[in-house]
């Protein structure tokens, strides 16, 4: 066998080896199992339900198993501005308080597996289950190491507005505030928690008037609220405890003696995104 024939045979063998490796490589990619979990809503309101669908590719068996778990995360504070989520727990351990996963359809190996997730009957109690995140995990039956996830958070669905949004008071004066839902219905006082905070210029954090020796006024859900001996910007902030249904509250400004030393500033609701400028007090 001449040297030329040996060279040609070597080149041919090399080419065949490259083709074989390429085919194996592309085959591996095509056979990679991938799990995609989809749903209709990433944020749900109480009693709402949705279908969770799992698409498995890269396997002849496209069925999958389902798991539902949840975590809670405390609200940030000045001492812990970035709180960490709790350890994961099974949804069933919450007895429906974080929703339920039901109607699991995963017996067919040729059709996509599905399940129904239903939000809890009421918005999760934020003292026990703050900022709940539910995670629905699907595991491919063809490869137990391959999983996909879909997360769900909750919204109470409650929307309220304070009427009026802003008010300017002289010292010693009072202002009646009402709370209405999106349908224009007044929310009863016993369904709301009222609070008053104040903000100082060049500061972004609000401070409770209750811890400020009553320097910015007070609020009473049944009768006029009283304000301090000197004025400062004040916010009335209701936090709804129950579903919509209205309320009134009166805010009282400081004593008249303070009026001789200071001008009234704006009382504003936190629901107001851009309060109008406070007009100066022209006369006493």
pLDDT at residue 51 in the model: 98
Tokens describing residue 119: 């939000």
pLDDT at residue 262 in the model: 39
Q: CB under 8 Å, gap of 24 or more: what pairs does 96-105 form?
A: 96/120, 96/121, 97/124, 97/125, 97/128, 97/129, 98/70, 98/124, 98/129, 98/132, 98/134, 99/44, 99/68, 99/134, 99/152, 99/154, 100/68, 101/52, 101/66, 101/68, 101/136, 104/66
- In eight-state DSSP terms, residue 279 is P
C-beta of residue 92 within 8 angstroms of C-beta of residue 17: no
Residue pLDDT tens, the chain, 284 long: 566 666 666 766 676 666 655 554 444 555 799 999 999 999 999 999 999 999 999 999 999 999 999 999 999 999 999 999 999 999 999 999 999 999 999 999 999 999 999 999 999 999 999 999 999 999 999 999 999 999 999 999 888 999 988 888 888 888 888 899 888 899 888 888 887 776 665 555 666 666 655 566 667 665 444 455 444 444 444 444 444 444 455 555 554 433 334 344 444 444 444 444 444 444 43
Residue 134 has φ and ψ, to the nearest 5°, of -95, 135
Is the domain spanning 34-154 CATH 3.30.470.20? The answer is no
Q: Tokens 């504070």 — which residue?
A: 77
Q: Tokens 């009553």 — which residue?
A: 214
* Closest to 66 measured CA to CA, from 118, 114, 132, 119: 114
* Closest to 264 measured CA to CA, from 201, 165, 170, 199: 170
Helix or strand run (H / E) with residue 23: helix 3-30
C-beta of residue 69 within 8 angstroms of C-beta of residue 61: no
pLDDT at residue 111 in the model: 96
Sequence spans of domains, the chain:
34-154, 160-269
Question: What are the start-end ranges of the H helices in 149-272?
Answer: 256-259
Tokens describing residue 73: 């995360």
The pTM (predicted TM-score) of the whole model is: 0.60
pLDDT at residue 14 in the model: 72
């Amino acid at each position: 066998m001449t040297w030329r024939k040996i060279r040609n045979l070597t080149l041919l063998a090399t080419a065949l080896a490259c083709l074989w490796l390429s085919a194996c490589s592309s085959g591996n990619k095509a056979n990679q199992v991938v799990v995609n979990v989809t749903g209709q809503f990433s944020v749900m309101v109480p009693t709402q339900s949705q279908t969770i669908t799992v698409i498995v590719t890269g396997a002849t068996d496209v069925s999958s198993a389902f798991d539902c778990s949840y975590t809670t995360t405390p609200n940030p504070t000045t001492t812990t501005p970035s709180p960490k989520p709790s350890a994961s727990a099974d949804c069933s351990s919450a007895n429906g308080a974080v929703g339920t996963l039901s109607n699991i359809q995963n017996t067919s190996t040729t059709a996509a597996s599905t399940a129904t997730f239903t939000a809890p009957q009421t918005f999760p109690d934020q003292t026990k289950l703050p900022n709940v995140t539910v995670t629905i995990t699907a595991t491919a039956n063809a490869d137990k190491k391959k999983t996909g996830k879909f997360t769900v958070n909750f919204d109470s669905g409650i929307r309220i507005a304070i009427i009026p949004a802003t008010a300017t008071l002289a010292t010693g004066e009072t202002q009646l505030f009402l709370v209405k839902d999106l349908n224009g219905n007044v929310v009863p006082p016993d369904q709301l928690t009222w609070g008053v905070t104040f903000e100082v210029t060049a500061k972004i954090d609000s401070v409770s008037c209750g811890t400020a020796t009553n320097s910015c006024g007070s609020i009473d859900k049944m009768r006029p609220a009283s304000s301090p001996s000197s004025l400062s910007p004040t916010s009335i902030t209701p936090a709804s405890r129950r579903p919509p249904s209205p309320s009134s509250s009166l805010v009282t400004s400081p004593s008249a003696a303070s009026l001789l030393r200071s001008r009234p500033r704006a009382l504003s609701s936190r629901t107001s995104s851009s309060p109008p400028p406070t007009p100066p007090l022209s006369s006493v």
